[in-house]
Amino acid sequence: MSSEQTESETEDKIKIKMPVKTSVIGSGFATIELVSSLVMAVLSRFWKLSSTALLIILLVFWFEGGLGASFMLILAVFGLFYYSQDMLLYHPDEPPHSRLYVEMPNSLNLPYDSQYTRTRDGTSINLVLVKHTAPGAPTIIYFHGNAGNVGHRLMNMFGLYQTCGCNVLMVEYRGFGKSDGSPTEHGLYQDAEAAMDFLFKRSDIDKKKIFIFGRSLGGAVAIHLVAQPYYASLVAGLILENTFTSVPEIAKSLFNLAFLKYVPTWCFKNQFQSLKLIPRIRLPTLFLSGLGDQLVPPRMMKDMYEHSGSSLKQFSQFEQGTHNETWTCPGYYETILKFVKEVLSRGPEDASSSRVENSISVNIDTKGIKTV
């Protein structure tokens, strides 16, 4: 299997479990099938805990009656719902063997530096830096989606390296690929900070030309990083691709289950509240949206753009872009390269006083790109 094929299959594996709605009846059966598959997945993952909880509930029912058992059942269901969310969001084992084998850039005849660094909580994560031969090249810190490892993004990395002329630092989250630990929201935030700290310790990187790139889940990680004033001051620009507004909102959009509308936000273990953070970000920001995205509704990317606090922001749509394959669309790398050049050509004062107006719209049918 090639790197390109593998990359297309890795991110956001939950989408292959989503039913296709064909009718009201079909929708009902699809919902039942979805709920049943989720229940079975939880039970298979937590069967020991489920068995223990069931035994406790039976004992409570025997000694205390139905009210106590009902209370214990509610607690057990809530506990399973809360702690099983990681299983639905993070897929480090897909495709199979993703934790055992990580393809490196030398498979594309590229020189690279693979190193481990420790986060604030002591977790060791894997970082892969591919350095461009051009001196003073910009550097892109790459935050990937919710499945696979950095090796599954090599073809995308190669395009950023070759077409955009950038160094690329690929960050492998905790619990993914060669990195230690298990993924959590706050853990991924620490991984991003560790990657920035690692890069700034190097003497062979132009620290005035650092861009942050995040796709899907990686977009949420990137937004949280640059929403912090300290790290924002170290970054030239932000690039977001097919990312969501928050986990509670994307869950409601994906599963389309009525009860999710009434689930309080605090019930979601992972939240990634990007829409609340994006107004704080003043950095130049490029939004890349695939209109064929069947996982993250393109309206979420538009919402992010409209709420962005950036004084220099650009919204580019790709008519044929899907959630995982927007990077294969014609004009994709040219859009990124143009943005990088524009940001670097402006001084800090120019960037803070300029604005790409919402009313400007250019359609390029031959490339399938719409830039706003």
User: Which residues are known catalytic residues?
Assistant: 216, 293, 323
Spatial contact of 340 and 166, defined as CB atoms under 8 Å apart: yes
Q: Collapsing DSSP states into helix, strand and coil, what is residue 286?
A: strand
For residues 183 and 203, give the distance between their C-alpha atoms in angstroms, rounded to a whole number: 30
Spatial contact of 368 and 319, defined as CB atoms under 8 Å apart: yes
The pair of three-digit structure tokens given for residue 256, joined into one six-digit string:
């389309």
For residues 284 and 203, give the distance between their C-alpha atoms in angstroms, rounded to a whole number: 25
Please give the C-alpha separations between residue 315 and each of 13, 75, 91, in angstroms, as whole numbers. 26, 44, 29
Q: Collapsing DSSP states into helix, strand and coil, what is residue 116?
A: strand
- Spell out the residues 6+ positions from residue 60 whose beta carbon is closer than 8 angstroms to its own: 68, 69, 72
Spatial contact of 296 and 243, defined as CB atoms under 8 Å apart: yes
Q: In 3D, which of 346, 341, 321 has the Cα closest to residue 331?
A: 321
Count of other CB atoms within 10 angstroms of residue 146: 24
Please give the C-alpha separations between residue 228 and each of 192, 217, 224, 261, 283, in angstroms, as whole numbers. 12, 18, 7, 30, 11
The pair of three-digit structure tokens given for residue 74, joined into one six-digit string:
């509610």
The pair of three-digit structure tokens given for residue 18, joined into one six-digit string:
């989503």
Q: Which residues pair with 168 in a beta bridge?
A: 130, 140
The pair of three-digit structure tokens given for residue 333, joined into one six-digit string:
């790398």
Element (H, E) at 118: strand 113-118
